[in-house]
Amino acid sequence: MNVAILGVGTVGSSVANILKRNQDIISARAGMKINPVVGVVKDLNKKRDCDIPLTDDINSVIARDDIDVYIELMGGVEEPYRVVSQILKKKKAVVTANKAMLAYHRYDLQNLASDTPFGYEASVAGGIPIIKSLREGLSANHIKKIIGILNGTSNYILTNMMKNSSKFEDVLKKAQELGYAEADPTFDIGGFDAAHKLLILGSIAYGVRGKPEDILIKGIKNVSSEDIFFALDFDYVIKLLAIAKKTDGKVELRVHPALIPKDNIIAKVNGVMNGISVYGDAVGESMYYGPGAGGEATASSVIADLIDIARGNKNPMLGYQPTSKLEELELLPINEIKTKYYLRLRVEDRVGVLAKITNLMSENHLSIDSFLQKPRQSSDEYTTLFFTTHISLESDVKRVMGLLQNEPYVKERPFMIRIEG
Amino acid sequence: MNVAILGVGTVGSSVANILKRNQDIISARAGMKINPVVGVVKDLNKKRDCDIPLTDDINSVIARDDIDVYIELMGGVEEPYRVVSQILKKKKAVVTANKAMLAYHRYDLQNLASDTPFGYEASVAGGIPIIKSLREGLSANHIKKIIGILNGTSNYILTNMMKNSSKFEDVLKKAQELGYAEADPTFDIGGFDAAHKLLILGSIAYGVRGKPEDILIKGIKNVSSEDIFFALDFDYVIKLLAIAKKTDGKVELRVHPALIPKDNIIAKVNGVMNGISVYGDAVGESMYYGPGAGGEATASSVIADLIDIARGNKNPMLGYQPTSKLEELELLPINEIKTKYYLRLRVEDRVGVLAKITNLMSENHLSIDSFLQKPRQSSDEYTTLFFTTHISLESDVKRVMGLLQNEPYVKERPFMIRIEG
């Protein structure tokens, strides 16, 4: 089986190298030799970490008749979508690690692929076979909920904030030095990377068709040391969670920092690692853990897709047969989300303030589950109040936060973190 | 697709019920309806928790032409092997949850199955899709090591001993009351159940052909409260581990209680849950967590196999193409295992004893990594010594234990636990 690698960066080089290094076992498992016959790059002068023939002429490679599978590792959205569409129209198989392209075009690609193999295991959670587990391993289940830690950069930062009581900015800087965060980290710490992956998982579980702009995406940059202290005190950890959940026939898809009880297995996914808990109606909870990024780990998933293609496996791209009606559930509007909430308020430390706040909450249907106020520093005329609520409606919480912000005794903009589990 | 269920106990009933309850989504994913058309039972008078037609005549069911897949849930080894062989010879697909049959006959069955679909996801770790993850998801990797918590009963007992500082006998009794342990718990707490599952995983990873009697199997019944205290003090937990590991071109397969550092993700698999860490040369560590038993969880895996068959997937049974030379590695003899060890010694508390013991250890190539002696009770003339060693040879450790046992100052038989990670 001849494969072309479109984009020979870290992952592309690893794919070529592993196909060579593990040729023995890959051939025995696939039933044939898998040959990387050409790589397509933009800059032929740049040094690459593998020794396959290279070209900068992608059209000549797409035109070749001797290539069985194209591995798309170009990055971007519209350009790879154009290239992949062209390849699928020629009925040639495609394997991709491109989550952004799938976040926008997965249903277009499903239509184009129909009977042509299309693998994308590497697009979610790097080396973890979560697409396979969800689409095939748990195929008997109605999925109740997916809770994923899908972004290693954010998880590294939050883990280090918790373990060393460090500040967000300091840990981010360290992550950048170690290569765990980009110079511009917005895509990772802003929740967008996790959101792309969540949309893919949401399609397999529920057939939802949303795009990134349709779902709730909040990043971690406003999580403070005070939130971390509260979490530790109340036996929670804070994680950036990607959540897909079926509620009253609609689907919630949301990415945001969340408090989760520290005994939950997903709370134990630390550092740059990824983890995904899946709740099925038959199986109950199962959890998948592993490296979410890195050349070799991502290449492991790319090659697993190649071996699946070589074996002649026929899993429908998004888990549903094209002949079947998709589950196609609608997205739940963000304001209709119901969960528990944590609120942090910076307020004047004087008589009557707490009564005003609790009155305002109760008038707006927020019921308090726990409350913490620590003795203030003597030099400080403000104090911080921490609340958690019983299950509440997102719109009620937002209204309360808006009202509180306008109260004269409230110093900073109130901050909220959703609680999960 | 018509299926027959051979053995309609907890799992069989759950299979029938889920096929009915989740018919919508299963059909959409499989591309066809999956109908449980008949169940075979020994006792027609016993009440069952599902409403499929039943018979006690297995031969009439095997003779039917309208059945596409047979689900073997009979239990036992030779009788189901005989039945399954008969079915495979008729080129009819089989799905089984029978780990004992596979521990003894997996290669015989592979030969018989050749092109006939044969699913056994449910045989290892219940609802966790570990067969699929290892055989398909990680197929690009040379597997370096598998560390599994594969027996829920043992894990429940050890978890409770650690959490509540309880004694083995007390927790076992509680587990029996809760239905987590059988009246005769030997198969679970003796490590045999985990060993059956380990042999299956070992075949997928390494093509090893051992049977249960060829590998090291130790249970948990001699793990004492003192071992638990030591573990807690030194940041370990004690788990019954099933380990498959490639060492110098041979394969270690072993089941025994082990100390593992508490920060390891597999150390966090608690209660009746199962977990399997797999180390691949490309992916690094990935871990799979979920329920290892229970009717619905096990049925989830059985039905996933049915859907795979309906989709026309073609994964070679043990992961290697029949046309390929298997990896077929040899088992490492038990005495050649090298790992770290924990030793507990009950000895007379007098001058010179420790010197004698450490001399004896050093003469036999055991190098001490850590040592603990707690102040003895005033009423007691004996004291307990705890050692951990650097990496040592199993045969050296056993020799030392044999020698110590004959020393006059040693009161009880020395006890050893291997250390992992």
- Out of B313-317, B321-325, B364-368, pick the least confident: B321-325
- Rounded Cα distance between B94 and B71, Å, is 6
Contact criterion met (CB < 8 Å) for B18 and A321? no
**Cβ separation A132–B136 shorter than 8 A:** yes
pLDDT per residue, tens digit, chain A (421 aa), is: 999 999 999 999 999 999 999 999 999 999 999 999 999 999 999 999 999 999 999 999 999 999 999 999 999 999 999 999 999 999 999 999 999 999 999 999 999 998 899 999 999 999 999 999 999 999 999 999 999 999 999 999 999 999 998 999 999 999 999 999 999 999 999 999 999 999 999 999 999 989 999 999 999 999 999 999 999 999 999 999 999 999 988 999 999 999 999 999 999 999 999 999 999 999 999 999 999 999 999 999 999 999 999 999 999 999 987 666 656 788 999 999 999 999 999 999 999 999 999 999 999 999 999 999 988 777 788 999 999 999 999 999 999 999 999 999 999 999 999 999 8
Q: What letter would DSSP give residue B86?
A: H
Q: What are phi and psi of B215, to 5 degrees?
A: -120, 165
CB contact under 8 A, A288 and B287: yes
Partner residue opposite A287 with nearest CB, options B289, B296, B299? B289
Confidence of residue B325 (pLDDT cuts 50, 70, 90): low
State residue B374's pLDDT score: 85
Please give the distance of CA A421 from its chain centroid, rounded to a whole number.
18
B139, B282, B311 ranked by CB distance to A299: nearest: B282
Segment B15-29, tens digit of pLDDT: 999 999 999 999 999
**Active-site residue, A197 included:** yes
Q: What is the mean pLDDT of residues B345-365?
A: 95
Token pair in block for residue A163:
């373990």
User: DSSP secondary structure string, A338-366?
Assistant: EEEEEEEEEEE-STTHHHHHHHHHHHTT-
For testing contact with chain A, the best of B14, B15, B141 (most A CBs within 10 A): B141
Q: What is the pLDDT of residue B89?
A: 97
Q: Which of B204, B252, B251 is nearest to B102 (CA)?
A: B204
Phi, psi dihedral angles at B57 (to 5 degrees): -105, 90
Render the burial of A48-67: b for 16+ CB within 10 Å, e for the rest: bebebebeeebeebbeeeeb
Which residues of chain B are within 8 Å of residue A303 when distances are taken between CB atoms? 139-140, 282
Q: How many helices (H) and strands (E) does chain A have?
A: 14, 18
Angle subtended by helix axes A152-164 and A168-177, to nearest 10: 130
| Whether the Cβ atoms of residue A276 and residue A291 lie closer than 8 Å to each other | no
Query: What are the E-state strand segments in A108-214?
Result: 118-119, 143-149
Cα(A214)–Cα(B380) distance, rounded to whole angstroms?
A: 71
Q: Catalytic: which of A197, A218, A246, A340?
A: A197
C-alpha span between B95 and B93 (Å, rounded) = 7
Report the residue from A139, A304, A314 with minimal CB separation from B29.
A139
- Mutation site, B23, B34, B135, B289, interface A, largest A CB count within 10 A: B289
The stretch B325-344 carries a mean pLDDT of 88
**B190/chain A closest Cα distance in angstroms:** 26
Q: What is the SS3 assignment for A49? A: coil
**Spatial CA neighbour of A129 closest among B141, B31, B305:** B141
- Angle made by CA atoms B261, A298, A156, in degrees to the nearest 5: 50
Residue corresponding to tokens 């009439």: B60
Neighbours of A171 (CB within 10 A): 21
Nearest CA in chain B to A19: B140
Q: Which domains does chain A have, with CATH numbers?
A: 2-127+297-311 (3.40.50.720), 133-291 (3.30.360.10), 335-419 (3.30.70.260)
d(CA A214, CA B322): 48
ipTM (interface predicted TM): 0.96
Cite the DSSP H helix spans in B130-266.
130-132, 152-164, 168-178, 186-189, 192-206, 225-233
- Give mean pLDDT, residues B310-326: 84
> Closest Cα to residue A358, out of A404, A411, A324?
A404
Tens of pLDDT, residue by residue over B269-305, are 999 999 999 999 999 999 999 999 999 999 999 999 9
Is the pLDDT assigned to residue B211 strictly greater than 90?
yes
Closest to A284 in 3D by CA, of B72, B295, B130:
B295
Is 80 exceeded by the pLDDT of residue B324? no
Q: How many A×B Cβ pairs under 8 Å?
A: 226
Q: Is the pLDDT of residue B399 over 80?
A: yes
Number of H helices, E strands in chain B: 14, 18
d(CA B123, CA B187): 15
